[in-house]
Amino acid sequence: MTKRRVVVTGLGAVTPVGNNAETAWQNVINGVSGIATMTRLNPDDFPAKVVGELKDFQVEEFIDKRDARKMDRFTQYAVAASLMAVRDAGLKITEENSHRVGVWIGSGIGGMETFETQFETYLQKGYRRVSPFFVPMMIPDMASGQVSITLGARGVNSCTVTACATGTNSIGDAFKVIQRGDADVMVTGGAEAPITRMSLAGFCANKALSTNPDPKTACRPFDLNRDGFIMGEGAGIVILEELEHALKRGAKIYAEIVGYGATGDAYHITAPAPAGEGGARAMKAAIEDGGLKPEDIDYINAHGTSTEYNDKFETAAIKEVFGDHAYKLAVSSTKSMTGHLLGAAGGVEAIFTVLAIHHSILPPTINYETPDPDCDLDYVPNKARKQEIKAAISNSLGFGGHNATLVFKKYE
């Protein structure tokens, strides 16, 4: 069976560095950080003080207020980003084509805020006062469900939940749906709203978060002085489309998606496998799936969380896969500016990877000051760089040992 070619035709995002894909991209290539002292929660209650919150996001611009009240914030973000992506793609969903347009959007932890507030209501007032929308607001698949209702997309509708690999796995899974012929268009990515009391408490308890109170230096992927990740929120959605379908309607094409690799560490619930063994296999599988060789890759948008083990082991995995070429390619972590959006990270980072190819610009890793002997690649330190990028990969690694890699290339 011939694999159908799949291209990226639309982008939509709400992130700590901008409430649309273009603003977020401009801020990222200018090294502007969206990380700040948290305002949604009291920073005095937690050892981690800084986060990547959305700024000036107005849900009413996208969703009727009454409908928005029946959605957790992660779903609101997904709907907003999806509407922007569909508009950017110039895609019209009609009665005739709706059964060939699918949605595949994941969330790592779903409606945590809804769970917290409704549990308080239950404790104080009993079960009768719990919202009838409690379960539909909380479950992670509701981003996909609500987006499909909003858009009228009646094709394949699914949700991947693989912790911090969620967004990348979702896009990869959606890519395969089109490639094998089960849909012509997929609205796909990840959404997360994790800046809640219990989420923050849980990540503080397992010592994954940075306790550096200075927003300017707290997130420093690959730097010797990194001390944990910074939690962020938002959504990143891409429109994937079968090539002939896109050409027929005269769509603009940002890039082609050619490869997807997904593996399991079978090692530990939170720590990556030694030397990033599982991540290395995901990269190899994705490159092979795309019909490319390691030396064809020019850029890697790294998972790059700013935790001790992730950055060291991801670097080791890159060296394992690319050999000498590891020192010739560029690697950067845009999390240095957005923070870590958990299940939404892969969606947002896929957008940055696609735009890096489209505009021939390598986004930087900011706050890179003190080299780590274990992290000795070209991390595009502190300033973006003009460079033609023919092929690039985006990596995501999640709790539970999930590893996912996407390969994009310049459309020709």
Q: What tokens appear for 124 in the block?
A: 């104080």
Q: What angle do CA 164, 170, 175 make, to 5 degrees?
A: 145
Q: 230 with 46: CB under 8 angstroms?
A: no
- Name the active-site residue from 245, 303, 358, 402: 303
- Which among 159, 219, 245, 340 is annotated as catalytic? 340
- Of 198, 43, 38, 174, nearest to 109 by C-alpha is 198
Our answer to whether residue 164 is catalytic in this structure is: yes
Residue showing tokens 């795309």: 290
Question: Which member of 159, 164, 219, 375 is catalytic?
Answer: 164
Active site residue 375: no
Cα separation, 354 vs 361, in Å, equals 10
With CA atoms as reference, report the closest residue to 235 among 43, 389, 390, 11: 11
Q: Are 255 and 409 in contact (CB under 8 A)?
A: yes
Quick check: 238 and 188 in contact, CB under 8 A? yes
Render the burial of 56-70: b for 16+ CB within 10 Å, e for the rest.
Answer: ebebeebbeeeebee
Could you give the 3-state DSSP secondary structure of residue 104? strand
Contact in structure between 365 and 381 (CB atoms under 8 Å): yes
Q: Rounded to whole angstroms, how far apart are CA atoms 372 and 245?
A: 47
Active site residue 99: no
* Token pair for 294: 């390691």
Q: 325: buried, middle or exposed (CB in 10 Å: 19+, 13-18, 0-12)?
A: middle
In angstroms, the CA 237 to CA 255 distance is: 15
* Nearest CA-CA partner of 84 in 192, 195, 10: 10
Four-residue CA torsion sign, 93, 96, 101, 102: positive
**Which residue reads 């268009």 in tokens?**
185
Instruction: Please list the residues that pair with 330 across neighbouring strands.
Output: 299, 378
Beta strands in 74-135 (DSSP E): 101-106
Residues acting as catalytic residues: 164, 303, 340
